[in-house]
Amino acid sequence: MSKSFYITTTLPYVNAEPHIGFALELVQADIIARVKRLHGDVFFNTGTDEHGLKVYRAAEAVNLPPQEYVNGFAERYLELQKRLNVTTDAFLRTTSSAHIVAAQELWRRCSKDIEKRGFKGLYCVGCEAFVKENDLIDGKCTDHNTVPEIVEEENWFFKVSNEYKSKILTYLKQASVIIPESRRLEAIDFVKNGFGDFSVSRPKERLPWGIPVPGDDSQVMYVWFDALTNYISTLGWPAEGRHFNRFWQEGETVQLAGKDQVRFQSLMWQVMLLSAKIKLTDKVVYHGHITSEGRKMSKSIGNVVNPFDLIDEYGTDAVRYFLGRHINPFADSDFTLERFKEAYHSGLANGLGNLISRVMKMAQDNLIQIPTTPDHTISAEFWNLLDNFEFNKATDLIWQEITMLDQKIQTTEPFKLVKIDREQGVKLISELVVDLYTIARMLSPIMPETSTMIKDLIKTNRAPEKPIFPRKD
């Protein structure tokens, strides 16, 4: 029996509309979830991170109570999932009562490592983190281009002992725990140079919007301590029932995150798990950022592409296609509408869409019998690439097949042949249909609706009535 498989996105902050960078993470996780479901049980988690100073201030700015404010955004993130056709098993909101119970319980289990101290530091609200003077340029956070606030207060601190550091280093020495390799080296470097005690609470008077610290009414949890707990609270933890044991303790666990999250996902969260005596994450995969003219696309900067608009105009599978094939899974990629349109026309309107129409028109006009479609014609290389999160290379393989099929039609001209030598012509067309069916099977994790549609056309021997990917001139 194969291992149970757990995959999760990060939980986005709900202080603005969903952007294309989070759509990327959802689609990547969904592709993997769909592949893994072919072999066993999968739990696919996502949700929304709803506490913290950034959210509190955004709610204040529009004069809404924070809960009401986050409810509206949670709806939008749920809507995005539906529009992207992602097959999640849970949508975890950090303001849900089950999650609050879990975060407080995790705090209790870590409490031997948590102590209260006076503290003075520089705080970037954009990062929701204390920042070091060394990391600033002209006194400003490089990600947010803002001057951090000076904060002097009492906080609870999580103590990162030398013993923990050495255990985390041992964990990070396993090549499989972080993809890509450059992020793993970065994580090791963080542990060796600067991973130390970190603050895990805020005074309630400065931040009323958070989960109360157990046993200290004056403090609420640091939003990261709270939010990271979602990865297990979604499985019903602290109840060690069916889901938690099966998917986290005994299953294979994968977290997806943006490349700027290495400290949080691979260090902070792992040391919290160590302290609570819970299994560490098997693998964290870091994707690059989607940039806009070379700058990070982010809510704080305001250069955001709205994924809903793209889906409205081009359709769900076109957006999934672009994110799968034309965004580098690990390095930054620039997004422009021109690039998107060009990829849509060459890959979908003229490429896949045109191929489906040509093959199925010939099939509809000439085939009496629907050809038998074999199950085992996809190369191991394709599955290996997906197993290694190389979405772009895996999708390229499908498009190589599409190009080969186009060339086959061009050189053999079955539409002419069938008029001269009916038997040979029908044989060729049947072969093309079988090849198209294999393409449909390869497309299923990446473009699921298109995959199903091709299979339906083949099973009913019909050509599509109108172009599947109409040109947008």
Point out which residues bind Zn ion (CB under 5 A).
Answer: 124, 126-127, 141, 143-144
- Pairing type for strands 212-213 and 198-199 reads unpaired
Q: Measured from the CB atom, is 124 or 273 closer to Zn ion?
A: 124
Shortest distance (Å) from residue 139 CB to Zn ion? 12
Shortest distance (Å) from residue 126 CB to Zn ion? 4
Q: Measured from the CB atom, is 131 or 235 closer to Zn ion?
A: 131
Q: Measured from the CB atom, is 78 or 301 closer to Zn ion?
A: 301
Q: Nearest Cα to 9, choosing from 67, 121, 64, 87?
A: 87
Cis? peptide before 180, omega within 30° of 0: yes
Q: Measured from the CB atom, is 303 or 392 closer to Zn ion?
A: 303
Q: Measured from the CB atom, is 143 or 449 closer to Zn ion?
A: 143
* DSSP annotation string for 219-268: EEE-HHHHHHTHHHHTTTTTS-SHHIIIIIISSEEEEEEEGGGHIIIIII
Q: Nearest Cα to 32, choosing from 399, 387, 357?
A: 387
Shortest distance (Å) from residue 53 CB to Zn ion? 12
Shortest distance (Å) from residue 144 CB to Zn ion? 4
Cα 9 to Cα 24, 83, 87, 206, 287: the distances in Å are 10, 17, 12, 29, 11
Shortest distance (Å) from residue 267 CB to Zn ion? 18
**Alpha helices, H only, 47-125:** 53-61, 66-84, 97-110
Shortest distance (Å) from residue 244 CB to Zn ion? 34
Shortest distance (Å) from residue 2 CB to Zn ion? 42
Looking at residue 219, its amino acid is Q
Phi, psi for 442 (deg, rounded to 5): -65, -30
Cis? peptide before 238, omega within 30° of 0: yes
Phi, psi for 81 (deg, rounded to 5): -55, -45
Q: Which residues contact 444 (CB under 8 A, 6 or more apart)?
A: 34, 451, 452
Q: Measured from the CB atom, is 144 or 393 closer to Zn ion?
A: 144
Q: Measured from the CB atom, is 64 or 127 closer to Zn ion?
A: 127
